[in-house]
Chains A and B, each alone.
Chain A
Amino acid sequence: MSAGSGNKNTEPWGSFDDNLIQGSGSAVIDMENMDDTSGSSFEDMGELHQRMKEEEEVTEEAAATEDHEDGEFLGMKGLKGQLGRQVADEVWQAGKRQASRAFNLYANIDILRPYFDVEPVQVRSRLMESMIPVRMINFPQKIAGELYGPLMLVFTLVAILLHGMKTSDTIIREGTLMGTAIGTCFGYWLGVSSFIYFLAYLVNAQITMLQMLSLLGYGLFGHCVVLLVSYNIHFHFLFYVLWLLCGGLSTLRMVAALLSRTVGQTPRLLLCGTLSVLHMLFLLYLHFAYHKIVEGQSPLRPPILSL
């Protein structure tokens, strides 16, 4: 029977609707097609099919004997209405399925779950290792691909930066202190990682974006330590020593890891030179841009914001 293009009826008896199979429709049985208490849906569909066929025969007979312009039979109109409803239902179901599939794909935080699968012991050991350069550069060094440690380090750096900005009466004209701190730290972490990854891609170094993010994130541990000390103990000489020592060690570690994964003199020079320069200059910038000492003010006085 010409069931129309709207539904997926493949059986001659008009197969089950999607609603009946998946149970996504209403649970109330439509009583209007049943005139006995039969509970079998086979009989229902059979009855429905029979009734529709009878109607079709009736309309065909009537059409054969009457004028052909008059097509508004109750039977045909009822058939079209039902088809229209089914088509609308199908479209709605298909749209809903697509939307939920898209949502599950993009809003699924489980994509990030493997990168947060760490133990506290591992985080601690990786923090310690980020200050210890490894001298083996002939074989690719292992770089852990996790995001928990780097993310927490970036947030810690934000907190330390805020503390430093407040204790030195930093004036920010456009924007707020919080916004500047968060923007600087996240901008550095994400921006420099992407840039170095791009350079690594150009010179064909063996490192993934995740590993780069992880490497640079753990490299910020040295920065956190130096800034924490130098924002509270204001001796320039001490800062320079710490800058060379801690900054230098964490830079050396990152450089060694990159060296072990790059082939060729010029690519190595390019990649490692860029990273060292950016990393060390960032520490200098954080110290001097956000922490001006007003001459004559004792560092041990409580922070007072005056107008």
Chain B
Amino acid sequence: QASADANRPFAGLSDVSISEDIPVEGDISVPVGPSARRDDEFSTLDEPVKETVLRDLRAVGKKFVHVLYPKRSTALLRDWDLWGPLLLCVTLALLLQGGAADSDYQGGPQFAEVFVIVWFGSIIITINSKLLGGTISFFQSLCVLGYCILPLTVAMAVCRIVLVAGSGSVSFAVRLVVVTASFGWSTFASTAFLADSQPANRKALVVYPVFLFYFVIGWMVLTFSPSQ
């Protein structure tokens, strides 16, 4: 009894009552044992850096797979993270560099421009879907929209490879097909995740800005031309 009480000094209070016939219920004891014993299960501070990085990368990779094969699932929404969107945004912005960036000409978009478009576009779409009565949270929506840029980033990489071969009509036709397909894929993937959180009759109102957003990004990808 004494040793148990040493660990739980407040245990005896749980059976104190103010009036005789209304016993206080519940357990207000706070275990005051050595705290490291509980923290070891949850603390990730002591693990090697490689493990932390790999765990995060694996989570990002799993979400990439979900975007590439979109079906109605809550995986992206349940444990959202913003690493994937950041990676994709930086990759896209880097790939869009090296355009016709002569100082007199306004050629490709600058790095900061891509960043601003992606993040502010996502924020505006998220606010719009919340105002229309959506049940999704702010960061979940940012996460979904960011991850669904993946097809367009892949298309950008493909376009750059095609442009190495040449920049005539054939290459334009190929690029047009690739960008249109990936734009459709992005829009479809993001609606698969976002549509469930909206009231049924307003899905079109939420899908339209998403369509515009990926259209603008697809337009940036399509009209990219490398410096000669």
Contact = CB atoms under 8 A, between A and B. Distances in A.
B12 to A, nearest CB: 6
Nearest to B127: A109
Contacts of B130: 109
B131 A109 contact: yes
B132 A39 contact: no
A302 B172 contact: yes
Given A37-B13, A116-B132, A176-B110, A304 B225 contact: yes
B102 to A, nearest CB: 6
A173 B209 CA distance: 29
A120 B228 CA distance: 47
Interface stretch (B46-54, B75-83, B152-160, B197-205): B197-205
A155 B102 contact: no
B184 interface: no
A121 B10 CA distance: 63
Given A178-B117, A304-B167, A37 B12 contact: yes
B24 interface: yes
B205 A176 contact: no
A119 interface: yes
A152 B10 CA distance: 61
Interface string A157-187: 0010011001000111100111100000000
A39 B24 contact: yes
Contacts of A151: 128
B107 interface: yes
Contacts of A39: 13, 16, 18, 24
A305 interface: yes
Contacts of A173: 104, 106
A177 B109 contact: yes
B131 A120 contact: no
A159 B202 contact: no
B2 to A, nearest CB: 15
Contacts of A123: 205
Interface in B156-173: 167, 169, 172
Given A109-B131, A305-B223, A118 B16 contact: no
A305 B107 contact: yes
A156 interface: yes
B30 interface: yes
Interface string B88-116: 00000000000110101111011001000
B215 interface: yes
Contacts of B223: 166, 303, 305
Given A159-B212, A176-B110, A304-B167, A120 B204 contact: yes
Of the four ranges (under 10, 10 to 19, 20 to 34, 35 or more), the interface on chain B belongs to 35 or more
A109 B124 CA distance: 12
A306 to B, nearest CB: 8
Nearest to B110: A176
Contacts of A28: 30
B225 A120 contact: no
A120 B167 CA distance: 42
Given A109-B130, A155-B212, A307-B228, A119 B202 contact: yes
Interface in B1-27: 9-10, 12-13, 16, 18, 24
A112 B106 CA distance: 37
B131 A152 contact: no
A119 B113 CA distance: 33
Interface in B190-228: 201-202, 204-205, 208-209, 212, 215-216, 219, 223, 225, 227-228
Contact of A120 (B128, B201, B209): B201
A302 B30 CA distance: 72
Interface string A295-307: 0000000111111
Interface of B: 9-10, 12-13, 16, 18, 24, 30, 99-100, 102, 104-107, 109-110, 113, 117, 127-128, 130-132, 167, 169, 172, 201-202, 204-205, 208-209, 212, 215-216, 219, 223, 225, 227-228
Ranked 10 nearest A-B pairs via Cβ: A39-B16, A116-B131, A302-B172, A120-B204, A172-B106, A305-B225, A166-B223, A305-B100, A113-B131, A39-B13
20 contacts: A28-B30, A31-B9, A37-B12, A40-B18, A115-B131, A120-B202, A148-B128, A148-B205, A162-B219, A163-B219, A176-B106, A176-B109, A177-B106, A177-B109, A178-B109, A305-B107, A305-B223, A306-B228, A307-B100, A307-B227
Given A159-B215, A305-B223, 10 more contacts: A31-B9, A39-B24, A109-B131, A120-B204, A171-B105, A172-B106, A173-B106, A303-B223, A305-B100, A307-B100
Interface of A: 28-29, 31, 37-40, 109, 112-113, 115-116, 118-120, 123, 148, 151-152, 155-156, 159, 162-163, 166, 170-173, 176-179, 302-307
